[in-house]
Amino acid sequence: MILNDIKEIIKNLSLEEKAKLLVGADFWHTYPFLGKKELCLTDGPHGVRMQNNGGKEAGLKDSIPATCFPTASCLACSFDEKLLFNVGKAIASECIDQEVDMLLGPGVNIKRSPLCGRNFEYYSEDPYLAGSLASGFIQGVQSENVLACIKHFACNNQEYARMVNDSIIDERALFEIYLKPFEIAIALANPKAIMCSYNKVNGTLASENPVLLKEILRGQFKFEGTVISDWGAVSNRVNALKAGLDLEMPGSLSYLDIIEAVQNKSLSEEILNQAVESVLHLYQARPSFQDKKNLSFHQLAKEAALESIVLLKNEGQVLPLHKEEKIGIIGNPNIRIQGAGSSKVNPKHVDSFLDCLRKEKIQFEYFDTITDEVKQMDKVIFFVGLSSSKEIEGKDRKDLKLDEEDIELVCELSKLHSKVIVVLTTGSVVELPFIDAVSGLVLTYLAGEASASALFDILYNKTNPSGHLAETWIERLEDSPVYDFGKSVYQTYYRESIFVGYRYYDKVGIKPLFPFGYGLSYTQFELSDFQIKEDVLSARIKNTGLYKGKEVVQLYVRDLNEQLVRPIRELKAFQKIELAPNEEAEIIFKIQNSFFEYYDVSKKRFMMSGGTYVLELGTSSRNILLSKEYKVDQPMKVQPITVYHNLKSVKEITKQDFEKLCGKAIEPLPKKYPFTLNSPMIDVKTKWIGKVFVYFGLKALKKRSKTKEEFEMNQYTFLTGPIRMIGMGLQKTNYQLEGIVDILNGKILRGMIRFLKKDKRMKKVKQ
């Protein structure tokens, strides 16, 4: 099928055939057409999750074994686009082996709050880093002709009430922070598809948002691929189609709405044909499944973990360990390798840390409890981390705390032994009240199926640690700018605007536990000879230590113009360099106009602001080693002084301040009654008959869920989701689901008849 053929094909398709091409046939497939096999779309960002049941039904268990790579929060610490390319390429190869056309990933949503339950699936709090890494991953996936689907567009920064919540955000923050990773990835990697999010953005569902999907995505970002809904994100199929959403997933009867709208002239065939053409391009670009390789990528999964694990503390050079030392082990050495939810991979092989010790003939002793015998060990490794139920799709965390029992054990152990090394396994930030009591701290994040062997190699210096934090680790939750996270089902105010992550902590003067970009090595590096010639910045880096290692050199830009609201500094480039002892190399960064741009709300585009800047080289946002001033010969942007110029705390930002920033009044909360298809189940529960619906709904979910983990995810999604989500999997049209709304609104008989009666439109189409 070539491009000219697509135009001709569309002419010869019936209205019904066109409509069905824009709606999933089942949970993971589109409809076949004209002898062309249906497309298969499946999770996920760190490995293929293709279900054994052929992908016809929902479920989180019984997927075909695949390589489980480190999750995004871990991989991001590599600061290595080439590594992300290789991981994407490997996952794509396994897609081909399993006959998967489209991989639903990567996820580039900004880590606005460390409480987001899905942060392990996202790269960073920094838009430039997230977009750069996503570009590498997408290019790797599409190098095998597998279709990549970047997600979730846009402002899906929490799991709580994600299907009904409204992300209320000012225009500048929207473009500079939350849309920027998508813009970068589209420009550099040209993903074949983009997935719209569940939530509303400034009052309109992302799936029905023409500003997002047409003006910005198609217009400003020049996106040429296919727009796909998140699973169950579409409320009104015709409105979504008009707004620019091409393909609704999963399987739905909403194609009946499309047919009816074209027939009654409320939807033009031109809009219909544009969407059909977009979907047909996916059929055109899909991979060939003839050249199956059945390759193993366990070694690459290990390499990815090795590049990403972060050494956070190494007091007195307690690390690396030496083979002749006797090691005590406390806690669970079978560390968690991934998060829970739709991205969960069935790993082909999972390494064992204790097996690694045995294989290398390391003397060790495992302790169930802390006893005086621990003192006889040369060093002690304590394994601690979050449980899978704390980090799961559909549910956010309520705090950043580890289990109290683990904290107490670490503190007790530290009183007995002076050389305690904590191995921390978590998908996101946690509070570390014991940090001063331990000598060493190694952060694995969720490092995939080779976590254990990679950790062994790091601890014993077979590989020098080189991971750097892609997010700020704060000392306590109260330091976060998002103090009201997860408090409202209906609206979330992004009061902090552009001050997200390190941008906020720098601005208000909060010292983090570990800053963005931070990571230690067993060797030392020295930066020198910082020069700027025309539009090129250069410096020398030398390994002055004893071991071969890698350093991540980060370029930040500071604007000295105090009349423009800006962060203290922003990451604009980075480079990961490997050097042997005494080896040195030149670092070169090309200075880009984008280094000095801001989003000008009045002109609706990015603009340069002139004046004096400082270009900074360092190894974290708080460890700047070299800097030079740089003049930009452009008009200087001047803004009226606002509360954001000298921000001290987001808690000082009033609703009036925020409305002024947004340039409009915030819409009042929606009325709870009467009920509509978009009313959340949490409101439904306030009526006695609603409690009955919720009871039977949860009962059905429990029966369908194969694991406790799956039920927990489905439960939280159901309770904060809209009434229309009941139809997902029931094969009910919105016309029929309106019957449930009628029942809840007191029109019980009419509602029951409407819900149980077959939609008469179904008789007119081929089933």
Contact criterion met (CB below 8 Å) for 167 and 155: yes
Q: What is the pLDDT of residue 132?
A: 98
Instruction: Decide which of 639, 654, 672 is a domain's last residue.
Output: 639
Q: What is the pLDDT of residue 404?
A: 95
Say if 81 falls within a structural domain: no
Q: pLDDT digit string (tens) for 655-682?
A: 999 999 999 999 888 888 899 999 999 9
Percent above pLDDT 70 for the chain: 97
Q: pLDDT digit string (tens) for 174-224?
A: 999 999 999 999 999 999 999 999 999 999 999 999 999 999 999 999 999
Region of 442 please: left (phi>0), alpha (psi -120 to 50) or beta. beta
Q: Using the predicted structure, report yes or no on whether residue 1 has a pLDDT greater than 60.
A: no
Contact criterion met (CB below 8 Å) for 184 and 131: yes
Q: What is the pLDDT of residue 705?
A: 83
Q: Using the predicted structure, report yes or no on whether residue 55 has a pLDDT greater than 70.
A: no
Contact criterion met (CB below 8 Å) for 552 and 526: no
Do residue 530 and residue 629 come from a single domain?
yes
Say if 686 falls within a structural domain: yes
* Domain total in the chain: 2
Instruction: Decide which of 618, 639, 660 is a domain's last residue.
Output: 639
Q: Which domain holds residue 691?
A: 681-764
Say if 553 falls within a structural domain: yes
Do residue 573 and residue 627 come from a single domain?
yes
User: What average pLDDT does range 389-403 have in this prediction?
Assistant: 93
Do residue 685 and residue 755 come from a single domain?
yes
Q: What is the pLDDT of residue 77?
A: 98
Q: What is the pLDDT of residue 764?
A: 72
The mean-pLDDT minimum among 53-62, 158-167, 464-473 falls in 53-62
Q: Report residue 2's pLDDT band, with 50, 70 and 90 as the boundaries.
A: low
Q: pLDDT digit string (tens) for 245-293?
A: 999 999 889 999 999 999 999 999 999 999 999 999 999 999 988 766 6
Smallest Cα–Cα separation from 604: which of 43, 215, 80, 71? 215
Q: Is the dihedral of CA 663, 668, 669, 672 positive or negative?
A: negative
- Which CATH number belongs to the domain containing residue 596 in this structure? 2.60.40.10
Percent above pLDDT 90 for the chain: 85
Taking the C-alpha atoms of residue 508 and residue 650, their distance in angstroms, rounded to an integer, is 9
Do residue 550 and residue 624 come from a single domain?
yes
User: What average pLDDT does range 375-403 have in this prediction?
Assistant: 94
Do residue 633 and residue 571 come from a single domain?
yes
pTM, 2 dp: 0.96
Do residue 710 and residue 630 come from a single domain?
no
Q: Average model confidence (pLDDT) for the chain?
A: 94
Q: What is the pLDDT of residue 56?
A: 66
User: What average pLDDT does range 334-349 have in this prediction?
Assistant: 93
Question: Active-site residues: which are they?
Answer: 230
Taking the C-alpha atoms of residue 665 and residue 669, their distance in angstroms, rounded to an integer, is 12
Helix %, strand %, coil % for the chain, to 5?
Answer: 35, 20, 45
